[in-house]
Structure 1
């Protein structure tokens, strides 16, 4: 089953494609950007997790004024390499990630040790948090004064999830809890109130009547500014066995929240260009296993 994620903006129109192939074969060379740090995949973790953690660290370094990327082969002033070290089986101590910063000549210029739980959690939310925690110390290794500007009383930060409504079973609460957890670990963070947020998200779930043993579940995540101006919408839908979600959503809420967060983040990134009415491109976001492979229904 495919959980489709379609991003719709408040106003429709053709989406500019600045990097699209030009039919006439024209080329527009770009000057090489001066990147401070290239973050290599973290060794000692599964390949996908090591790459995801590198991306998370690169994204969070930007909050401290460090230009960073995890794209292989990118020219940079420094290369940051991390190695995951698990404790011995008989040792209850935490594991650690040893981060080493190398200059352009390959000389180590600084190290930072990050304590992490063992075993290392490889779900996207945990990796996002793990990528946030060392960013300040790593930025200091680069020589950046790693202090975020103090937030004044009128500074808005983060995304506020106002409500989820319409879901069968415990879906409203389960989806809200899961999405808040993912948003909190994401690049925009989670706001505690709408008044202190940059954007507000509302979720509306629609469960169609069962048909031929299946049931269509659709979720619309509406993103707006605190004053009510629409910014965009992320839509999800899936066919599940009829009544599958009438009691508890369980792990399906986490899968749906992760996919929804990806769409919400994309909407917010597009809104950051000063033109939130731009149309966002639809794309698949997550593939769920066949109905027979879904987790069994949770108890009452």
Structure 2
């Protein structure tokens, strides 16, 4: 009997496993994939550069291209002048032997440079002419580098904050399971409460003070008189109510197998899903991120509200 399990973070990451009754959901959740960069600022302003060896049209185009490349990396950047409280991207260049090398620095709201990345060397003639393809190439090269830098800056901030999830267990409110036939709601909830804690994060009985909320939803569909399709979706929400991620388990099983008692099936389902849920929480806690190799000073700043699934 085949099983397809998937973990959803910023997108659907397909996984697969196999098993036979009475363990139709047995398998391994696998790696959930890298966590997308979460920058510390509420907005990253990309002002039109004035020291980048570009005329006004080319400078404006570069700022626009950079903001688009950063948005593609899930970084909320805007090609606008920096306002009070904004983080910003400063662009400078170095010319040598007919080539231009752009350098991109991330500045805190106080104007402190928190990190710099070097771009791809490009033809000085094409750069200074404001060639659209050249500027687009520079922006697409810089986007992933800057996203990685911003992730490191956030990691440094979290590492220095004793109250951040990098330095303490996450508190999880588990609201239970719904939709399961038979004793599934009770059995799955009981086994998840046993499987999820791993000596680190903790489950609590109230929403108050919780960092994440977990809920399980079971949908059983009778495909025909011999086959049922079961889908179990575990949804993890942040304290803000925004979705942090999902772990979904799907399987076709003999009809009416789970009408009454789930038994060992609940144990295997919870054990498998718990690994994926822990990965969602880890990915949304910043624990997988590393500060940049060069130490940076830390300034308290608001976290960004991101569309991470």
TM-score range, shorter chain: 0.3 to 0.5
Q: TM-score, normalised by structure 2?
A: 0.42
Q: Quick check: which has more Rg, 1 or 2?
A: 2
